[in-house]
Structure 1
C-alpha cells in the first residue's frame, strides 16, 4: 500500500507542476524557438540507457499496453526499481496538463544505478525559453498541498518539492539554461547540474554523433552506452564484473535503436559504432551476410539458437584434443558452408548442458560422411564407437561416439566451446554434434516428424519481422531458457521468472540480428507478444502433414510386424499411413475427400489387411503400401450422399458395403465393387445423410437408415422388414443405438428433442425428458458401467446426462456450442467415458460418469479423434489433428 501511496503522491506533484507550466505556455503565446541548451548536455555520464521520446506521452501509452508483463517483472526484487519507474512514467503521462508541455518537445529519460541495486530514471526536458524557475515556484506556492524548499548547488537552484501526504517521497527539480531536469534522486539532479557545466557531454563519446545522425528523425529511440550498461546488467548477475555483464564494455562504444511499437510486437533497429579494433563488434565490420537455412532442421522445441555466417574461425589445437579428432576436423573443415548454429533444446528430464547441439552446414554431405567414417574406422579408439539409432523397424541412423568433445571448438573456435559434444551425426546437409546420445536422437526424431522451426507457426510468423540476410542471428523463447540461466544470473532472478512463467510465456519470442553496413553494424531487435497463452502439447509425438487433418484417424494393423499404424486424410485429399513412431510411411493423393470412416478388411482372406473407404463418386481399397487392390478404385453407381457402412454378417470376410446415392437408392456392393446379387435397390423418399446401421436381434438381421423425414428398417435383401406405425424423424445430431434390457429397441432423438423408442414390431414411443433445440447432439451410452444405458444430450453449450430411468444424473456447462464427436468411449468393461471436440477452441475433452473432466484433459486438438492401443504398452493412445497441420498422438494413462 505504501508504494502505491508514494507513487500517487509523486504523480500529484508532477501533475500540478506540469499544469502550471502548461498554463504559462498558453498565456505567453510562445512560438517554436531554438532551445537554449540541448537536454543531452545535462545527462549524467554514467547513464547506461537513454530513451529519447519524440512524443513522450504517446510513447509510454503504447508501452503501457504490455503493463501486465511489467507488473510481473516487478515481482523480481532486483528489477523492482526499473519496473516501478516504467509504471511511474506510464501513469504520470496520462494527463492533459503534462501533454500540453511534454508532448510538444522531445524528452530524454536516462537510467542510472544509484547505490548497489536501485535503478532510477532521470528526466531532461527542453522547455520553452519563457518558462523560468520563478514560474514553477509561484505555481507551487499557490497549490495548497505542495511545498518546496530551495537550496543552491554549484550556483544553481534545486527545488525539493514535498507533498502534505504521508510517506510520499520528495521530487527534485532544477531549471538549467532552458532544460528542466527532474528525478527522485537528489544525487542525480546534482550530477545533472555538474554535467551541464562540462565541456564534454555524453554526445562526445566516440561514435555517438555518427549513430545519432543515422537515427530516424521522427522515431522514438534508445541509446546504449556499453561502458555504463555493464553496471545495470550487474543487477542480473550480482555484480558489474560478473558473468556476461563484465563482457559488455568490450562490445563497442555506443548504439542507437529506433523503436517501433505495435499491438503485439516491439521492433528496434539502428546502428552500433565500433571505434577500436579491440571492440568485439569491430570484428564483424568485414563479415559477409548470408541467408539462413538451419531453421529447416532445428527442432521446434528449440529454446534458443545462435547462428554465425561466413567462414568459421578454427580454434588452436587444444591440449586435450585427441589425434583422431584433429584428423576428423581436418576432413570437415574444407566442407563447411559458411553457416554454424548452436542450439539449446528444451528437453525435459535430462541435464541442462546435455540439451546443447551445434549444427554445421556442409557443401556436400555424402562424400564428407564417407571420408569422415573411413577416417573414424581407421583410427578408432577405445573411447570412440559407431552407434545405431532405429526410431522404427524401417529406418536406421548412424551416430558417432567421439573420443572427446573438442570437434566443435576445433571447427569454429570459441563459438563451439562448451556447446559441442562427444556425439555426432550427419543429417540432411548438416553435421550435428551434441553432448548426449539422447539429444542427438531427439534431433533426428523431430526431423523425421517434420517438427522443425520451418513448420512452426510461431517462428514463421516471427521471422517475417526480421531481415532475411545477416551475419549473426539469435532467437529465443524466454519462458524456455530459464533452466539454462543458472550460473549466468542471480538465483533470485531465475526464481522470479519461474514463479511468473505464465506471464513470461506471453513474450512468444525474442530475436536479434546484425549485419555490417556503412562501416558500422546495423542491428535489429524484435519481440513478439501474445496475451493468450496456449499450453504446449504433451503428446508422445506430433507429425506434420501437408495441411490439417480431415478424416477420423484409423488404427491399422501392420500384418508384417503386428504393430499399429495410423491412416488419415488431410484437407488436400492426401492420404497418409503413419507408423507408431510418427513417421510418414507413404502419402497417396486421392481424387476426392473421404466420406464417413475408413475400415480395415481382409480382401484375400489371408491375414493381409487393406483399407476400404468411399468418397463421393468412388469406392477405394488400398493395401498397406498405398497401392490400389485389384480393380479399385471402383466408380459408384450414383454419387454418395452418406459415408459407407461395411458389414461382415457371418465373420467370414464376405463383406457387404452400403452406400446411398443422390438418386435416393440404397446400394449394396460386394468386396469387388459389384452390386450384391439379389439385393433389392430400395429407394427412399429423401436423401440419406447418415450411415446405414446393422443390428441383430433375436436371430434376425435389421438394416436401418433415415432420411430427413422417415426411418426405414430393411432385411438383408433390401426389402422392408419392419413397417413403423408412425413417422420417426431423426435429428441430424442424433446417434442411433440399441437399448439394453429384456426387450431391445432402437433409440434416437427427433428434431424436437424428444426420445424415440422404436420396437421391432413397428411400435414407436416418444418421450420428452428435456427442452432441446433442433441442433442438439444425442448419445445413448452406458457411461456408469452398470449394464444400462444413459441418455446424453449436448445442447447450447451444456451436456446433460439422464439415467436409464430418465432421472437427471448431472449437467455440466461447456465452454463452447461448437461440439463434435466421437462421444461414447469404452476403455474396459467398467471404464467408460464421454469424449468430444470443442472445435471453437481446438480442445478435446473427456468426462466421466459424474460429468467431471478426466485428469490430463482437455488436450489440444480440433478434429475427430480415435482411441486405441498404438504401442505395446497397456495405455491407450488418442490420435487427433490440430489447426496447425500436425497430427497428434497422446497417451492416456489410466
Structure 2
C-alpha cells in the first residue's frame, strides 16, 4: 500500500466547468476538494505490484508512508470485483482525509470473523450510514445508488448524499485513463502533496498545468508512466507556451557530459511562436524585439552539474547563428583546440526564456558543431568540450539508451536526471529525509509532447544494472507474495511474446501468473493445491495457450487472463491422486486429459467429455506414478505403475506390453531411457522393460531412499549425498536434498538439485562439473530455461517463505 510515496513522484490536476448530471459512474462521486485520485481495476494487483517495487520500497520507512498505511488499513477488509477509486484530500485543519469509491457487491465487505472491528449505524437527514472502527481507526461508509462510498470523515459522507454538480472536466480527464495498467492517477495541480517535478524551482506544478492524468505500470525494477496533461485555455498556464509549436527531436543529450546531474531540453520549430507565447505568459510587450541569436534555434537545453549550469542552443544554421554573435567573439581562452569567447549579455536567456530558464547568467561561450554552449563557469565549459570530443556524453550511457527506448524521439520538453537529481526532486515533494541515495536509478526521464490543447506525458524510472561478468550468477527478481508459497514456481510460455513467465501457488491456494519483469499479472483462488506440474495446451488451435492442471477434486483449464475456460473446471467427488496427464498423440492439438483416481483412469477430451474409446477399467492396486505417454517407432505407449505392476497400454487403454515378471516398485517416476521403460525397485535396483516385455535389472547400489531422473540417453541418481550423472559421481555435502532435475537446453544437459537444509541451489553439467559461481541461495527445486530473447539462461526458485527468486546465468 505504498500509495503516498509513489504519488509524490507523479503529477498533477485541474480546474473545471460544472454541469449537473445523474451519478452513474464512480467518478461522479469524487468529493469536490479531492487533490489526488488513484484508480485501479484490480486492487490485489495494485497491492502486489507496489509491494514488489524496488523503487517504492524505499519509502516504506518514512513517517508519511506509515501514516498513510495506517489510514488505509481499512482496504484490507474490501474485496472489490472491479474498478475502485481512492481519493485523497486535506481538510481545513490540514489533516489527510481519504475516500474509497467502488460498486457495491455482496462480497465487497464481509464483516464475519473480522478481529478488532466494531460498527454502529447512524442517520443523517433520513440517510443511513455506518460508523466503523478497525484497529482503532474510524471510518464511515454508505451505499448510494449501488455505489459503495467510504471516507475517513463523516463530513465527506454527508456531502456525498447530495447530488451536487459534477466536474465535467474531471470526467473527461478520468475517461482518458486506461483500465489495463496497474493503476491510474489524476492529481489536481493545486494539490498540497506535490510541488514540482523539475530541478528548477520556478517550474512548480501549479504554474505548469491544471492537471495531469497518468497510467502507471509497475514492474519490480521499473515504473512506466503514460498519460496527458491538460490546461484550461489560459495564458497563465506555463504548459500553454508550447501551443502551436511543433516538437523537434531532442539533441541536448549529445552534448551533456556523462557525469552531469542531468539536463532539460525544450524544442520548437519556430522561435517566434514560442517567444510570442512566453511574452504573453509574462505579459510583456510583444513589440519588444528579440535577439537575432535565436532566429535559427530549434532547441534550448540546460545542463546541470552540481550547482553549476550551462545553456545550450541547438541551431539549424550554425553559420547564421555564429554571425549573429559576431560582436561576441573576444577569445578569452582556448581548450583542446576550441575557442572560448566572452559574452556580454548574461541576462539575455533569463529575459527571453524565463521561467523555463532560471539561475543562469553566462558570461562566456563556445561552439561545438551546431551547439552553442553558454556558461559562467570555465571548468564546466571545459568538461563539456572534453566529453563531447571523447564521445562520453549522456547519449552514450547505456542507462540513458534504455530509458530513451521508452520515450518519443521528439518532445516539447524533456528532463533526464541522474540519481542525485532524482533524489533532489523527490525531496522537494517529501517532508521526510530519505536515507536512500537512489544509486541504482542512474537515469530517469520525464517527457511532455504538446498536441493541440493538451500534452502527452511519458516518464520512466528504471533501475540500472551493472553489466554482469561472464559466468556470474545474478539475482534478477525477488518477488514477494502476500502469503507463503505452497509449491515450487515454474515457467510457462507467454504466447503473445514467446517469452516465459512464472506461475506459482501460495498456501491459501491462490494461483499467480507473474511476468518475467516481476509484475504480478493476476491472482486466482483455486479449490485446492495443484498436483504436479502445470501443463499448457491450445484448446482452440489458434496459438493461444491455456494452463491445464488438477487439484484434489478439480481439473482446471485457465486462459492467459486467469479466467476459466468453459466447461472447466471439471468437478470430481472422488479424490484425484496423481497430476493431470496431457497427451497430444499426433501433435495435432487433439488433446486427451487423463485423470487418475486411486486405481482408476478417466480419459477426457478438451470439452470435458469422456472419451468413449478408452477401455482401461481399473488396476488391481492404487496407481503410484503419473501416467506418461511415450512414442517408439510410431507406436504409442501409456505407462504407469502400481506397487507390483508396470502397466504399459496403448492409446485406447488395451495392454500393449506385459512385463515378463513383476517387481516391488519404488515411488520414482517411469522414464524412457535407452528405448526402455525405466524406473527403480524398492530396494534401489534399476529396472528396465523393453517393448517385448523383456525385463532387466541393474544394481546401482541405491539406498531405499533414492531418486532418479533420466532422459533418452542420460541417467541421474541420488542416494544419500551421492549424486551420479551418467557414470560421473559427485560427493555432496551432507544435507536434505530435493530430487535432481534434468534439463536439456541447446544441446546441453544441466542437472539441478537443492539442499533444503543449507538453502543452496546447485547446477551441474553432464560430466558432473559444478557450474561456475554455484551454489546460490534457494529453498526449492528450480526450473531452468531461457525465458527472454537474450542468450542467458534463467532459473526460478523459492527464496524466503513468501518470495520467489529469479536468477540469471550470465
What TM-score, normalized to structure 2?
0.48
Q: Which has the higher helix share?
A: 1
What TM-score, normalized to structure 1?
0.44
Q: Which has the higher contact order (CA 8 A, sep 6+)?
A: 2
